[in-house]
C-alpha cells in the first residue's frame, strides 16, 4: 500500500513552517517584511484588532484571490505584525495587537506546500485535526488568544461536511484565517453549528491594487508622491481620521443612501476635490500616475526586471486557469478558459455574441455560460450586460487585471507596453483598451462600495454608454471619452434614456417596477474641456442635461 504520512510527519512539517516557535523568526517572514504591505494587509490587521479589543473570542477571517495575487505574502506579513519578536510594520503601531503576540500562539499551515496533497480528502482533515490538536495542547499557552492561519484551503477540497469538520477543530479563544482561490472555498458562515464562531469576516477578495492604493504605496508609478500627500489620501477616504473625507462623502452621495449626503452633494464635492483640495501640481501628478497605472496593473513585484515580471504574471495566471479553476469546477478542457481570456484581451469590452463565442471555441452556449461563470468566480474575466435586457444574446468581456490584457494580446497590438515604464513608442489604440478595462474594473469596485446592482452598458444612436450603475432606480451613467475615442460623448450623454432600463426580480424572471432617474450624466475623460477648467466646476448644463466631466484619474481615485 502506498504510504503517505504519519501524524508525527505532519507535526514535524508544521514545526518546519513555524520556525518562530523556536527561533522567533523564519526566512519567509524576513522576505515578506521586505515587501511593501498592500492596503488589504492593513485592513485585515485593523479589522482583527477591532474584534480583539472588543473582546471577540472566536473569529473566522476568509480571503480569496488568484494564484500569485499576494495571499501568502499577506499572511506572512500578518504573522510578522502580530509577533512580539519582530518590528513589522512601521504603520499601525498604535494597535493593541501589533507586536503583542507570543510566537507559540500562532500556527501557520501552507496546505499546498505541505503533506496534505498526498492524502485523501477525508484523511487530510484528520491529519489537520491532529496538527491543530498538537498546537493547542503542546505548543500554545493554555491562556490567551490563538491564531491559526490556513493557506490555500482548496487543497482540502472542502464540501459542506468537511467545512463543518474544520469548524469543529476550532475551540474558544481562536482566530482562524483562511485563504483560497474562490469565495465558496473559504465561506464557513453557513456551516452548522455556526454559533461556535462569534464573528465572520468576508469572504473578502484580494484584487490587483486599485489606483488609489497604488498611489499610497508610493511605488511603481514613476511619480513622486510624498508621504504627506499619501497620508492625506488615506484621510480623504476615511471618517475615522481627523480632517475632511471628501472621497467618503462622494461615495456616500453616489450611493443615495444618506439623507444628509445627496447626489448633488457628491457632485459638488467632486469639483471641490478636483480644483480646491488638489492644486495644479497634484492634478498633473495624478494624471501622469493614472497613465502609468495602465502599465503597472497595480501589482507589487519582487524584481525590477520587466521580462521576469511578465513571465511570473502570465505563469501565475495560466496556473490559476489550468490547475485551480479547472479543478474547482471539474473542467475537462481548461484551455477554453485560456481562449476566453484571450478573446477578452483581444476585444477589450467590445460587444460579442454568445453564438460567436460558442462557434469559435467549439462548444454549445450552455458550456460557454459555465466557462464565463467560473472565470467570474475567479475574478479573472467579468461580463457586462445590457442595461435594457434587449440584447440578451450579447455580452462584453473585461479582464480584471490590465497586465493580463498586455500579456494575452498579440505583440503587434500591445507594442510599446511590454515594459512597466513609459516608452518613446506611442500606441494610443492600446492605451485606450487599457483605459477602458481599468475603468470597468474600478466601476465594479465603485458598484460594490455604493451598493449598486452591477456595471452594465447600453447603446444610443450616437454611441456607447460604457458603464451604468444603478441602485433601486437611481442611475449613474458613465461615458468613457479617452483619446483617440473622444467624439460624441456629449451627444451620447444627452441621448441616454434612463427609462430604457429593465431588471428582473432576484427570485424570478418578472421585471422590477422601478422609476429610473439619472439627474447627472458622467463623462470620464483624459482631457477636460476648457470651460470646465476655466470655471473650476466639473458640471456643465447642456439642454436640461447636467453633464459632470470626470478626469480619468479622479474617477479611478473615488472608486
Sequential DSSP letters for 26-85: -HHHHHHHTSPPPHHHHHHHHHHHHHHHTT---EEEEEE--TTSSHHHHHHHHHHHHBTT
**Is residue 416 in some structural domain?**
yes
For the stretch 124-179, pLDDT in tens is: 898 999 999 999 999 999 888 999 999 999 999 988 888 988 888 888 899 999 99
What's the CATH number where 110 sits?
Answer: 3.40.50.300
% of the chain at pLDDT higher than 70: 98
Residues 200 and 310 in one domain: no
Q: How much is the average pLDDT of 6-11?
A: 89
Q: Which pLDDT value is given to residue 4? A: 60
Query: How far apart (Å, rounded) are the C-alpha atoms in residues 466 and 458?
Result: 7
Tell me the CB-side half-sphere exposure of residue 186, using CA atoms within 13 A.
29
Residue 406, phi-psi category: left (phi > 0), alpha (psi -120 to 50), beta (remainder):
alpha
Residues 403 and 546 in one domain: yes
Angle 421-76-38 (CA atoms, 0-180°, nearest 5)? 40
Residues 318 and 173 in one domain: no
For the stretch 403-449, pLDDT in tens is: 999 999 988 899 999 888 887 788 999 999 999 999 999 999 999 99
**Is residue 35 in some structural domain?**
yes
Single residue among 205, 224, 244 that ends a domain in this structure? 205
Residues 188 and 315 in one domain: no
**Is residue 295 in some structural domain?**
no
Q: Which pLDDT value is given to residue 168? A: 86
**Is residue 19 in some structural domain?**
yes
For the stretch 75-133, pLDDT in tens is: 999 999 999 988 887 677 789 999 999 999 999 999 998 888 888 878 889 899 999 99
95 CB contacts (<8 Å, ≥6 apart)?
A: 45, 46, 49
**Is residue 280 in some structural domain?**
no
Q: Is 130 exposed, middle or buried (0-12, 13-18, 19+ CB in 10 A)?
A: middle
Please state which of the ranges 39-43, 218-222, 304-308 shows the lowest mean pLDDT.
218-222
Residues 191 and 328 in one domain: no
**Is residue 179 in some structural domain?**
yes
Single residue among 173, 205, 237 that ends a domain in this structure? 205
Residues 321 and 178 in one domain: no
Single residue among 205, 234, 268 that ends a domain in this structure? 205
Residues 323 and 471 in one domain: yes
Of the candidates 235, 280, 322, 292, the residue with the CA atom closest to the CA atom of residue 420: 292
Query: How far apart (Å, rounded) are the C-alpha atoms in residues 375 and 77?
Result: 29
Going by pLDDT thresholds of 50, 70 and 90, the confidence category of residue 300 is: confident
Query: How far apart (Å, rounded) are the C-alpha atoms in residues 496 and 516?
Result: 12
Q: Which pLDDT value is given to residue 259? A: 64
User: CB–CB of 408/341 below 8 Å?
Assistant: yes
Domain limits for position 198: 7-205
User: Nine-digit cell at 74?
Assistant: 499577506
**Is residue 530 in some structural domain?**
yes
User: Nine-digit cell at 440?
Assistant: 470597468
**Is residue 127 in some structural domain?**
yes
Residues 40 and 189 in one domain: yes
Q: Which pLDDT value is given to residue 1? A: 38
Residues 345 and 463 in one domain: yes
Domains in the chain: how many in total?
A: 2
Residues 140 and 13 in one domain: yes
For the stretch 474-532, pLDDT in tens is: 999 999 999 999 989 999 999 999 999 999 888 788 888 899 999 999 999 999 999 99
Q: Is the peptide bond before 203 cis (omega within 30 degrees of 0)?
A: yes
Amino acid at each position: 500500500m502506498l504510504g503517505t504520512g504519519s501524524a508525527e510527519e505532519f507535526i514535524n512539517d508544521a514545526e518546519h513552517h513555524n520556525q518562530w516557535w523556536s527561533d522567533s523568526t523564519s526566512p519567509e517572514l524576513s522576505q515578506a517584511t521586505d515587501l511593501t504591505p498592500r492596503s488589504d494587509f492593513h485592513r485585515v490587521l485593523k479589522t482583527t484588532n477591532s474584534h480583539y479589543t472588543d473582546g471577540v473570542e472566536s473569529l473566522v477571517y476568509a480571503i480569496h484571490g488568484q494564484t500569485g495575487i499576494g495571499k501568502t505574502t499577506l499572511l506572512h506579513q500578518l504573522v510578522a505584525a502580530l509577533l512580539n519578536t519582530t518590528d513589522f510594520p512601521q504603520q499601525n503601531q498604535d494597535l493593541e495587537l501589533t507586536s503583542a503576540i507570543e510566537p507559540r500562539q500562532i500556527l501557520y499551515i501552507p496546505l499546498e506546500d505541505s503533506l496534505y496533497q498526498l492524502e485523501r480528502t477525508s484523511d487530510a482533515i484528520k491529519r489537520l485535526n491532529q496538527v491543530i490538536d498538537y498546537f493547542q495542547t503542546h505548543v500554545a499557552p493554555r491562556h490567551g488568544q490563538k491564531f491559526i492561519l490556513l493557506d490555500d484551503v482548496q487543497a482540502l477540497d472542502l464540501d459542506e461536511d468537511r467545512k463543518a469538520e474544520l469548524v469543529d477543530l476550532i475551540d474558544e479563544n481562536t482566530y482562524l484565517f483562511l485563504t483560497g482561490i474562490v469565495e465558496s472555498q473559504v465561506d464557513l458562515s453557513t456551516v452548522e453549528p455556526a454559533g461556535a464562531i462569534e464573528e465572520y469576516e468576508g469572504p473578502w477578495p484580494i484584487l490587483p491594487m486599485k489606483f488609489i492604493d497604488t498611489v499610497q504605496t508610493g511605488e511603481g508609478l514613476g511619480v513622486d508622491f510624498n508621504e504627506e500627500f499619501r497620508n492625506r489620501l488615506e484621510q480623504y477616504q476615511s471618517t475615522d481620521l481627523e480632517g475632511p473625507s471628501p472621497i467618503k462623502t462622494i461615495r456616500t452621495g453616489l450611493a443615495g443612501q444618506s439623507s444628509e449626503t445627496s447626489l448633488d452633494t457628491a457632485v459638488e464635492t467632486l469639483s471641490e476635490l478636483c480644483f480646491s483640495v488638489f492644486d495644479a501640481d497634484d492634478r498633473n501628478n495624478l494624471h501622469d500616475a493614472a497613465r502609468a497605472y495602465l502599465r503597472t496593473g497595480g501589482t507589487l513585484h519582487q524584481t525590477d526586471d520587466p521580462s521576469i515580471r511578465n513571465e511570473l504574471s502570465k505563469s501565475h495566471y495560466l496556473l490559476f486557469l489550468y490547475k485551480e479553476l479547472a479543478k474547482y469546477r471539474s473542467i475537462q478542457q481548461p484551455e477554453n478558459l485560456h481562449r476566453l481570456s484571450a478573446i477578452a484581451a483581444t476585444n477589450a469590452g467590445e460587444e460579442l455574441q454568445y453564438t460567436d463565442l460558442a462557434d469559435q471555441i467549439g462548444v454549445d452556449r450552455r458550456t460557454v455560460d459555465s466557462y464565463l461563470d467560473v472565470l467570474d468566480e475567479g475574478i479573472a474575466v467579468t461580463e457586462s450586460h445590457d442595461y435594457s435586457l434587449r440584447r440578451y444574446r450579447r455580452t462584453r468581456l473585461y479582464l480584471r487585471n490590465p497586465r493580463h490584457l498586455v500579456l494575452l494580446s498579440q505583440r503587434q497590438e500591445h507594442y510599446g507596453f511590454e515594459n512597466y515604464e513609459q516608452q518613446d513608442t506611442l500606441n494610443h489604440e492600446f492605451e485606450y483598451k487599457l483605459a477602458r478595462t481599468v475603468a470597468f474594473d474600478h466601476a465594479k469596485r465603485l458598484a460594490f462600495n455604493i451598493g449598486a446592482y452591477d456595471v452594465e452598458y447600453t447603446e444610443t444612436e450616437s454611441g456607447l454608454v460604457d458603464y451604468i450603475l444603478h441602485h433601486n432606480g437611481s442611475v449613474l451613467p458613465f461615458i468613457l471619452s479617452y483619446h483617440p475615442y473622444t467624439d460624441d460623448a456629449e451627444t451620447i450623454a444627452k441621448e441616454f434614456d434612463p427609462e430604457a432600463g429593465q431588471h428582473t426580480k432576484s427570485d424570478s424572471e418578472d421585471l422590477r417596477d422601478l422609476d429610473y432617474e439619472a439627474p447627472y450624466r458622467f463623462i470620464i475623460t483624459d482631457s477636460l474641456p476648457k470651460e470646465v477648467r476655466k470655471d473650476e466646476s466639473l458640471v456643465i448644463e447642456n439642454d436640461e442635461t447636467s453633464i459632470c466631466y470626470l478626469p480619468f484619474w479622479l474617477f479611478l481615485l473615488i472608486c
